[in-house]
Every structure is written in C-alpha cells, then in structure tokens.
Chains A and B, each alone.
Chain A
Amino acid sequence: MNRHMFLMLAGAMSVALPAIATAQTELTVYTAVEAVDLDRYKATFEKSHPDITINWVRDSTGVMTAKLLAEKDNPQADVVWGLAATSLLLLKTEGMLEAYQPKGVEALDKKFVDKDNPPSWVGMDAYVAALCYNTVEGEKLGLKAPKSWDDLTKPEYKGHVIMPNPASSGTGFLDVSGWMQMWGEEKAWSFMDKLHENISAYTHSGSKPCKMAGAGEAVVGVSFEFPGAKAKSAGAPIDIIFPTEGSGWEAEATAIIAGTANLEAAKTLVDWSVTKEANEMYNAGYAVVAYPGVAKPVEHLPSDIAAKMIDNDFEWAANNRATILKEWQKRYDAKSEPKS
C-alpha cells in the first residue's frame, strides 16, 4: 500500500535526520482530562517551560487504561496526566510507573499522594460520588429527593435509579469501594442487594447516569459531581446531592512511565503538576484539589465537598478490585433481563 510506504519513508527520514530537531523535548502525555481543559494546561506549562512541548493523547479513563496496559511491553507515553489513581495503581502493580518525589509534593494533602516513598503517583484533584436528582420527574412521580445512600433502597425509587457498572466504570467502582470502606464488606453487599432492586440500568460510563437523570430518562443518577454541575449549567432540572453517609472518591493523578527516554522533562512536568498554580487551574472544573487551601467553590456545587470524602484506601481498592468485581458480576450481572 502506498500509504504504508509513505509512512515507512517518513519514519526512515525522521530517523535519518535527527540533526534537524532542536533541543526541544517532546513529551507524549496520556490523559483522561476533559478535552476543553487541555489547551489551558498546555499553554500555561509551555509558557514557563519553553524547552518542553506537550503532545496530548486523550481518551476516556477506561480506554486510556486499556491502551496503557496494552502497551505494557512497549510504552508509548512519557507521562500519564490526570488518570484515575486506581488506574495508576494498576499500572504500578505491573511495574509500569517510575517512582519520583516531585519538588514541593510535601505541600499536598497526604491522601492525594501514593503511600510509597518515593511516590509513584501524585494526585491533582478529586471527583466525588454524588447523586443527580431530577426534580421535575421526581415531582411528577411524587418522590422526595434522597438524602442518603440508604434512601436509595426505599421501594418508591424502584426502577428510577441508574448507576454506572463498576466493572466498566471507574466511577461505579469508586461507589462500590466507597461503600465497602465505609460500612465493611458485609453491610455493603446487603445494601447493594437492596439497591439492585431499584436500579433501572447499570451504565457503561460514570457520567452517563447524571446525564440520564438530567434528561429525565432516570430520576436519580448515581454519578459524581462534575457532570452534575455541567448538566445543571446546560439546563438540566437536577439537584446534586451528596449523601449524608459520605462519598467514595477518586483522585485524578499524574505519574511517570518507567523507561521513558525523556525522564528529566517528565519530572519537570510532574513537578509543575503539584504546584499551587497548577492546582488553581484544576479548580476550574473540580471542587476538590490536592493542594490545601486553593480550592474555591464551583458553581452548582456546595463548598464543603471535601468534608464528604471518605478516607479512601486506594491500595486496598486496587488489590481487591478483581475479587469485588467477580462477586458483583455474580450477584447483579446475572440478572440480565431488563426491568420494566
């Protein structure tokens, strides 16, 4: 094929002509951060570090994680930026991350930093489990807004709750792992048994339940705060509710891929990711950021979200993920018939 030939030729030329390249370092950065935010990060970073160019490779968390794992033996990325901490832990247990202590990491909230020393990943911000409640549909059906997780198991919500499938959605899993860490496994399973009776669908993606609730396809969407705020801005008649028991959460974090050819530049980027300046930028979309005292309230979200966050043990979550999911699928996936 001609195209292939062209590619090979182009490849050969880029190898043959290294002299043309300047001292500029190009970093390939895999990310799951919202596409709209990437340009800001890139512009700001490159302004202060003109010798480094960021090439973003963006996709959803699931796809990114799959891609990174698939490239395990031949990594293409230098840095992972803004991927779920649980995913990074998965990469860490495969030995794919380069441990590094970024300059200034001491300033960050400890729960946003890998427990090992030096840490393999450092957090940027958090997304927190929340409920999106469609007030219009709720009123039509004569429902009251739920206040707690426990409320969701009430019979009147039967068929009106939608949540992400923990097997395919990081959000879904943070919910489940959150319940388990709050209540212990046994209680969490019995809660989920009851909740399952009310669930109309388990979605593939974590933000979809909130959007489905926003569109009235469901009344309550178990999701996280970010898409809730977004949907509300777009005009969805929803309330964003943080259950009284507390919420599971996930950190978006940054890590260096082991074996990168651009280690120094990668370190520079990770150093920057923990700065106050960077954290202020995270705050544009996320109410909770890793740098204490930086966060300002986000529109449509309460200011005390950080207080709702449970004490999350990422390592426990990562190491028990397979077992939990196996059990979850056994219990809930088997009943594959749709609910009317």
Chain B
Amino acid sequence: MNIALEAPYLPLAGKRLRQETSRDDRIKFGLMAVIGLYLVVALGAPLFVMLSKSLSTYRFDLAAFEFQVSDETGAKWGPVVTADALNRTLGAVAEGDLASSADGRLAATKFFPDFSFRSPVHYRIRGTTDDAAFLAGSTLEKGTEWREYDSGTFRRIMLRPARTLGLDNFKTYFSTPALARSIYNSVLMAAISTVVTISIAFALAYGLTRSCMPLKGLFRGILAIPILVPSLLPGIALVYLFGNQGIFKDWLLGYSIYGPIGIVIGSVFFTLPHAFLIILTALSIADARHYEAAASLKASKWRTFTTVTLPGARFGLVSAAFVVFTLVITDFGLPKVIGGQYGMLAVDIYKQVIGQQNFEMGAVVSVILLVPAILAFAVDRRMQKRQVALLSARAVPYVPKPNVRMDTICFAFACLVSFFILGMIAMCQIAAVVKFWPYDLTLTAKNFAFDLMDGGGWSAYANSIRLALLTALFGSVIVFAGAYMVEKADAFRFGRNVFHFLAMMPMAVPGMVLGLAYIFFFNNPANPLNAIYGTMTILVVSTVTHFYTVAHLTALTALKQMDPEFESVAASLKQPFHRLFFRVTLPVCLPAILNIAIYLFVNAMTTVSAVVFLYASDTKLASVAVLNMDDAGDIAPAAAMGMMIFYTNVAAKLIHALLARGLLARTQAWR
C-alpha cells in the first residue's frame, strides 16, 4: 500500500487495522461480557420490564360482550346487542370510567336501566372473543358460549376488564389527588430535608476542618452512627420521643410528629453522615494558600468565608445536596414509620403493591419516582465532572489556628448534633428493653423474643447476616472485577462505556423501584432465571445491584491511583494479566476492597426498600422484620430488632478495622 504524497488525510477509514486479540484480551472480554450481562440482567432488563408494566392497563372492552334479553315468558329472545352499543345509546359508563385496574368489575345491569331482579325476564351474555371474561357471582366465566341467567342471578354478573397497552395508568394516577399529591409531598420533604441537612453538615464539617475544637475524632465516630441503622429506626425513635406518649411531645407545640415534621427530622438523622462526609472531604482539600492570600489582603472573616471557603466547597455542597435529596425522595422506611397520612412516592409504591395488589399502579409510581432521582443524578454527574479540573495536586493543607470563641461555638454545635444522634439511638435502646411503654417501665428482654412475633423471628436476623456476608463477598468480587474491566481493559471502548453507564445507573434507581422491577422480571415462569425468585440469591443480587454505584466508584478510584502503565509493562514482560492482577492490582487495592465489603455489609443489614418485595418466608430479613413488626404495631420489638442490626454493624465495623489493620500490616508494608 503506497500512500499518495498529496493525500492529506487518512487513505481509507474502512481499512483501519485491527489488533489481533491475545489470550488475555479474550479472557478480559469474556469477563466483561459476564459482568456486563450481570448488570443487564440485574438492572437493565428488570427496569425495562417494569416500564412496560406501567403501560399495561386494564380497560373494560365493551365491544367484547354481547347480550340478549328475553320477553316476560323467558322463551322469546330479543336482538343480540353489544354492551358497547348499549352504552352508546345510554351513556351509562363514561369513557373515562372504562379505565380500570386488574381487579376492576363492572356490573352488567348498568346497561339495562329498567332492570329489576324481580322481573321474570331472562338474560343471555357471551363474549365475542375467547378472552372476554365476566363473573357470575364469584365464578369466573370466559369465552363465546351464550350463558343464560334469570334476573336474580343477572344482578350478580360483573364484567372483567381486558389487558391493553396505554397511558391509562398514568391518567388514573394524575387524576387521583392522593397519589398525585405525593409528588409534591416527596419533592417538598426532600427539598426541606436537603436544606436542613446540608446546613447542619456544613457547620459540622466547617467546625472539624476550620476550628481547633477538641474531640474531633469522637464526633466523626458519632456522626457515622446513622449509617449503621435502618432508616426505620429514627422513625421509631421519633415515635417514642415525640409521639403522643413521647417524652418531648410538648416541644412540638401540639403539632404531630406523624407527618412532615417526623419525616424531616428523621431524614436529617439518616442523611447527615452522607452529607457530612462529602462536605468534610470538600473542605479538607481546601488550599491554605488561598487563606494566606485572603489574610494578606486583610479580608474580613466573613469575606474570606464567602470568597474562599464557600466557593472551594461548592461542588461538595452541591454533590451532598443531590445525595441527600435522592436519599430522602427514594427512602421508604422512614415515611412508612413516621409519615402518618402524609403520602410519599416511595411509600405509595409499597401501598399499591403490597396493600392493594395493584402492580401496574406500583409500576407507574416507580416510573414517576425515577424522574427526580435520575434528574438529580444527572445534574450531579455533570457537576462532578467539572470538579476534577479544580483540584490541584500542589495544594497546601490548611491548618486551623486556635480561636477560643470560634472553637467553643463549633464544639457546642457538634455536641448538640451528637446528642441528637445518640439520643435517638438511646431512645430505641430504652424502648427495646422496657416492658410496656409508657405504662410499665420495668426492664425486660421479652422484646427480643422475636420468634413470638410476626416479622420473621431470630431466623430473620440470621438471614440478614447471611445476606450481608454474601453481599459483601460476591458484591466485592463482582464490583471490583467490573471496575477493573472498565479501568484497565484497553480495548472494547464501546463496551466499557456501556458498562460504566450501567454501573452508574443503580445510584439513580430507588430501591423500591428496583425491588418491584425484580418482581416483574424474575417472577415470570417464562424467565429462565425464575428459579432464583424467592431465594437468598435474588436478595443478594438485588442488594449488590442496589448499592453497586458507590462500590464501583470506590473501586474505580482505587484503580485510577494505580499507574496505568502496569498493564503495558506486564504485557511487555509477557506476563498474563491475571498474574499482574493477583500479584499487584489486588494487593495494592486491598484496602479499597475491604471498604467496599464493609459498605456492602452494612447496607445489606439495613436496607429495606428493594428486598421488601423480594423476601420469601424462609428468607425474611431483620430490616424487613423491623418494618413488619412496626407495621403490626409491635414497636418495641421493632426497636429491639433495629438495635440488633445496629450492634451487628458496629461489630462488623470493628472486625473490619481489625482485619484491615492486620491485613494491611502484611500486604501494605510498602506504604
């Protein structure tokens, strides 16, 4: 091939060379396909099925039913007429009322205004299609055979709706005030909680990074506590603290804790650690030189704050805000416990599916809940991308100088927040060991006799630990292998991008939505994976998927810190990638992998939202038991189970710390 001298561009795009694949490439490609397939099966396909389910509607198809009415003797039959024709002349059922749900019923007598059950007239009914279904009393009848009923029985004829595709579910949703109202409520609650949480978290993080207040380590520890409990627990604590029999009921000035107030307080409790950590990181990377510059320019404290501190942390603030917003709007446990009659989207999904068996409407609410979550997620991703460029490697860490007034204020505030957090946990602890709040305050262990309550008993607790361990184990493996493929596989750019997108998706998918999508997808006899429905496997899969993104990002960050040329060096040394992986990549990333494992463990212990739709009788979980016991009114045992989860997570954290220290001492000697 000889390229003409004057050819300014590539000779022929189509002739591009392709690299021969090495064995490594094929193995990597295979691995990526496997993990990509995992994400498609565990995320993409279920969501797609759910979306289509939300468009699956039930409608009375009046043209599918035909009637015939006899004369008074019951022998001579009138003309055959469809229900549709009758309705057009009578206008008995408005067009809008034809939309129905899976258990919709329409009395056949509606089309016969002069119907009387005492009349000797007989009625015949049949379907025009094989699928047309109606009930005679409670007996299901189908098909095109004529069936004859006397008028007494005809009173009990109910037409059943037929399944079609359309937007009827969405129309019904938006025309049901209680449901549509939830959108407003959810957004409002999320917005208020975000503002409050971010303010508190910022003040705390500011105190920890910019003041010389004492006990910083202790406060950090306390602020991590809410992550270790299910979001139901602050709800339960609030019932005891501010409920009608609450210790501090009067503080609410007559307002009820059941509703927005409880939701906001509880949301602040369980989202605070997330916001705090993000903002703390943002403030920690501040460049001391900016402060020196401000000081040299004789800028006032306030001016320094607004021109240096705030702008420096603004990406952290925005990021934290989106995280809190998403957490609150998608959380289900807290509003379930403390929300009272205040409708929230995530609770609506549960109500529709578990309470009313209206899966289609559950899917509709899910789709609606996806919108704000995905929006928040998309905006946040954009912001994050811009932030990277702002970080400078040469920044000088800021070291605060003592300032008695400032330090005292920060310390006092941190104490206040810590009391709030510890108070909530302490309240649950007290509730868990008291005999009959508030009438009999003697101590007892009976609330821990879970086997005597609904909810799942101690086996639920054992299941939770099993789920958490399996999730931590398989999740770490899948997530790390996936992140490795995204970061280190040097070919298949397209596949990697698709993969990365799938890995980022779970962040935007609320747990309830994921759980419901799993029902639709896996609970289908035509699905070859149907076998995992109702097993521990589906719980592990859903939990790994639900918490995939953060784990993926953690793994990615660790991998990005590795020299990108390791793979090239290994290839030049003719070493297979797996040798490099096990000898270098894995040991170097071990701390990150341990962090992923503990993250997955803790979340598997506390999560309710996805698994609430997926557990089976022999795979009940402790967190779900908290929900169900609270649901049944057994609040004290619910608190007790919640505390068991808390203790377990604390223990897990301690073991993790010990393990990390032990392992690191051996494998990270080079650090």
Q: Within the complex, are A and B direct neighbours (CB within 8 Å)?
A: yes
Question: Is B124's CB within 8 Å of the partner chain A?
Answer: no
Q: What is the bound-complex CA distance between A217 and B257, given in angstroms?
A: 11
Taking a contact as CB atoms under 8 Å apart, the answer to whether A236 and B436 are in contact is yes
B625: shortest Cβ distance to chain A, in Å? 12
Taking a contact as CB atoms under 8 Å apart, the answer to whether B105 and A204 are in contact is no
Taking a contact as CB atoms under 8 Å apart, the answer to whether B343 and A168 are in contact is no
Q: Which of A34, A315, A334, A338 contacts B138 (CB 8 A)?
A: A315
Q: Which residue of A lies closest to B453 (CB)?
A: A35
Taking a contact as CB atoms under 8 Å apart, the answer to whether A62 and B138 are in contact is no
Question: Is B642's CB within 8 Å of the partner chain A?
Answer: no
- Excluding A69-B102, A201-B340, A208-B631, 7 further A-B contacts by CB distance (< 8 Å) are A60-B628, A76-B534, A89-B138, A93-B140, A215-B437, A217-B245, A314-B138
Taking a contact as CB atoms under 8 Å apart, the answer to whether B356 and A95 are in contact is no
Q: What is the bound-complex CA distance between A197 and B451, given in angstroms?
A: 38
Taking a contact as CB atoms under 8 Å apart, the answer to whether A237 and B532 are in contact is no
Q: What is the bound-complex CA distance between A2 and B178, given in angstroms?
A: 45
Taking a contact as CB atoms under 8 Å apart, the answer to whether B158 and A319 are in contact is yes
Residues of A within 8 A of B182 (CB): 336
Segment 250-270 of B: residues with Cβ below 8 Å from A: 254-256, 258-260
Taking a contact as CB atoms under 8 Å apart, the answer to whether B436 and A4 are in contact is no
Residues of A within 8 A of B185 (CB): 336
Q: What is the bound-complex CA distance between A316 and B231, given in angstroms?
A: 41
Q: What is the bound-complex CA distance between A305 and B137, given in angstroms?
A: 29
Taking a contact as CB atoms under 8 Å apart, the answer to whether B140 and A94 are in contact is yes
Question: Is B438's CB within 8 Å of the partner chain A?
Answer: yes
Segment 630-647 of B: residues with Cβ below 8 Å from A: 631-635
Q: What is the bound-complex CA distance between A95 and B140, given in angstroms?
A: 6
Residues of A within 8 A of B342 (CB): 336-338
Can you give 27 contacting A-B residue pairs, CB < 8 Å? A3-B470, A7-B532, A58-B617, A59-B617, A60-B628, A62-B355, A63-B354, A66-B353, A66-B357, A70-B359, A74-B530, A93-B103, A93-B139, A95-B140, A201-B258, A204-B355, A207-B632, A210-B633, A215-B436, A215-B437, A217-B239, A237-B439, A320-B105, A321-B103, A322-B100, A337-B342, A339-B341
B480: shortest Cβ distance to chain A, in Å? 15
Question: Is B237's CB within 8 Å of the partner chain A?
Answer: no
Taking a contact as CB atoms under 8 Å apart, the answer to whether A338 and B341 are in contact is yes
Taking a contact as CB atoms under 8 Å apart, the answer to whether A1 and B474 are in contact is yes
B188: shortest Cβ distance to chain A, in Å? 12
The answer to whether residues A1 and B537 also contact, given A201-B258, A216-B245, A217-B239 and a CB cut-off of 8 A, is yes
The answer to whether residues A323 and B105 also contact, given A7-B532, A57-B616 and a CB cut-off of 8 A, is yes
A39: shortest Cβ distance to chain B, in Å? 11
Residues of B within 8 A of A323 (CB): 105
Q: Which residue of B lies closest to A99 (CB)?
A: B139
Taking a contact as CB atoms under 8 Å apart, the answer to whether B158 and A340 are in contact is no
Taking a contact as CB atoms under 8 Å apart, the answer to whether A92 and B341 are in contact is no
Q: Which residue numbers of A lie inside 8 Å of B, CB to CB? A: 1-4, 7-8, 11, 34-36, 56-60, 62-63, 65-66, 69-71, 73-74, 76, 89-90, 92-95, 114-116, 120, 136, 165, 167-169, 200-205, 207-212, 214-218, 227, 234-237, 314-315, 318-323, 325, 329-330, 333-340
Residues of A within 8 A of B336 (CB): 204
Taking a contact as CB atoms under 8 Å apart, the answer to whether B239 and A66 are in contact is no
Q: Which residue of A lies closest to B439 (CB)?
A: A237
Residues of B within 8 A of A207 (CB): 632-633
Residues of A within 8 A of B478 (CB): 1
Residues of B within 8 A of A319 (CB): 105, 107, 135, 138, 156, 158
Segment 111-166 of B: residues with Cβ below 8 Å from A: 135, 137-140, 142, 156, 158, 160
Q: Which of A66, A209, A325 contacts B354 (CB 8 A)?
A: A66
Taking a contact as CB atoms under 8 Å apart, the answer to whether A167 and B617 are in contact is no
Residues of B within 8 A of A204 (CB): 336, 351, 355, 631
B131: shortest Cβ distance to chain A, in Å? 12
Taking a contact as CB atoms under 8 Å apart, the answer to whether A315 and B178 are in contact is no
B192: shortest Cβ distance to chain A, in Å? 15
A218: shortest Cβ distance to chain B, in Å? 7
Question: Is B44's CB within 8 Å of the partner chain A?
Answer: no
Interface residues of B toward A: which range?
35 or more
B237: shortest Cβ distance to chain A, in Å? 14
Question: Is B412's CB within 8 Å of the partner chain A?
Answer: no
Report B634-663 CB contacts with A as 1/0, cut-off 8 Å. Answer: 110000000000000000000000000000
Residues of B within 8 A of A63 (CB): 354
Q: Which of A70, A209, A235 contacts B519 (CB 8 A)?
A: A70
Residues of B within 8 A of A95 (CB): 140, 142
Q: What is the bound-complex CA distance between A60 and B185, given in angstroms?
A: 28
Taking a contact as CB atoms under 8 Å apart, the answer to whether B341 and A7 are in contact is no
Report B335-374 CB contacts with A as 1/0, cut-off 8 Å. Answer: 0100011110000000101111101000000000000000
The answer to whether residues A7 and B537 also contact, given A318-B138, A319-B158 and a CB cut-off of 8 A, is yes
A32: shortest Cβ distance to chain B, in Å? 10
Q: Which of B341, B357, B537 contacts A337 (CB 8 A)?
A: B341
B150: shortest Cβ distance to chain A, in Å? 16
Q: What is the bound-complex CA distance between A217 and B245, given in angstroms?
A: 6
Residues of A within 8 A of B440 (CB): 235
Q: What is the bound-complex CA distance between A333 and B356, given in angstroms?
A: 14
Question: Is B495's CB within 8 Å of the partner chain A?
Answer: no
Taking a contact as CB atoms under 8 Å apart, the answer to whether A334 and B354 are in contact is no
B358: shortest Cβ distance to chain A, in Å? 9
Residues of B within 8 A of A89 (CB): 138
Residues of A within 8 A of B104 (CB): 322
Q: What is the bound-complex CA distance between A35 and B437, given in angstroms?
A: 24
Taking a contact as CB atoms under 8 Å apart, the answer to whether A315 and B354 are in contact is no
Q: Which of A60, A62, A69 contacts B454 (CB 8 A)?
A: A60
A72: shortest Cβ distance to chain B, in Å? 10
Question: Is B244's CB within 8 Å of the partner chain A?
Answer: yes
Q: Which of A65, A215, A337 has the most CB of B within 10 A?
A: A215
Residues of A within 8 A of B534 (CB): 76
Question: Is B79's CB within 8 Å of the partner chain A?
Answer: no
Q: What is the bound-complex CA distance between A63 and B351, given in angstroms?
A: 11
Q: What is the bound-complex CA distance between A243 and B560, given in angstroms?
A: 70
Q: Which of B103, B137, B256, B536 contacts A339 (CB 8 A)?
A: B256
The answer to whether residues A3 and B254 also contact, given A60-B454, A116-B138, A120-B138 and a CB cut-off of 8 A, is no
Q: What is the bound-complex CA distance between A167 and B541, given in angstroms?
A: 31
Taking a contact as CB atoms under 8 Å apart, the answer to whether A65 and B341 are in contact is no
Residues of B within 8 A of A340 (CB): 254-256
Q: What is the bound-complex CA distance between A192 and B525, given in angstroms?
A: 43
A224: shortest Cβ distance to chain B, in Å? 12
Residues of B within 8 A of A92 (CB): 138-140
Taking a contact as CB atoms under 8 Å apart, the answer to whether B140 and A215 are in contact is no
Residues of B within 8 A of A320 (CB): 105
Q: Which of A1, A114, A120, A334 has the most CB of B within 10 A?
A: A1
Q: What is the bound-complex CA distance between A37 and B556, given in angstroms?
A: 51
Question: Is B176's CB within 8 Å of the partner chain A?
Answer: yes
Taking a contact as CB atoms under 8 Å apart, the answer to whether B178 and A329 are in contact is yes
Q: What is the bound-complex CA distance between A149 and B258, given in angstroms?
A: 25
The answer to whether residues A3 and B436 also contact, given A36-B452, A92-B140, A115-B137 and a CB cut-off of 8 A, is no
The answer to whether residues A34 and B454 also contact, given A1-B537, A7-B537 and a CB cut-off of 8 A, is yes
Residues of B within 8 A of A168 (CB): 351, 354-356
Q: Which residue of A lies closest to B635 (CB)?
A: A215
Report B50-72 CB contacts with A as 1/0, cut-off 8 Å. Answer: 00000000000000000000000
List 3 tightest A-B contacts by C-beta distance, closest first: A168-B355, A211-B633, A338-B259
Residues of A within 8 A of B107 (CB): 319
Residues of B within 8 A of A211 (CB): 632-635
The answer to whether residues A4 and B343 also contact, given A60-B454, A62-B355, A323-B105 and a CB cut-off of 8 A, is no
Residues of B within 8 A of A227 (CB): 632-633
Taking a contact as CB atoms under 8 Å apart, the answer to whether A334 and B181 are in contact is yes
Q: Which residue of B lies closest to A332 (CB)?
A: B178
Q: What is the bound-complex CA distance between A116 and B139, given in angstroms?
A: 8
Residues of A within 8 A of B470 (CB): 3
Q: What is the bound-complex CA distance between A287 and B307, given in angstroms?
A: 73
Report B84-119 CB contacts with A as 1/0, cut-off 8 Å. Answer: 000000000000000011111101000000000000
Q: What is the bound-complex CA distance between A274 and B582, given in angstroms?
A: 65
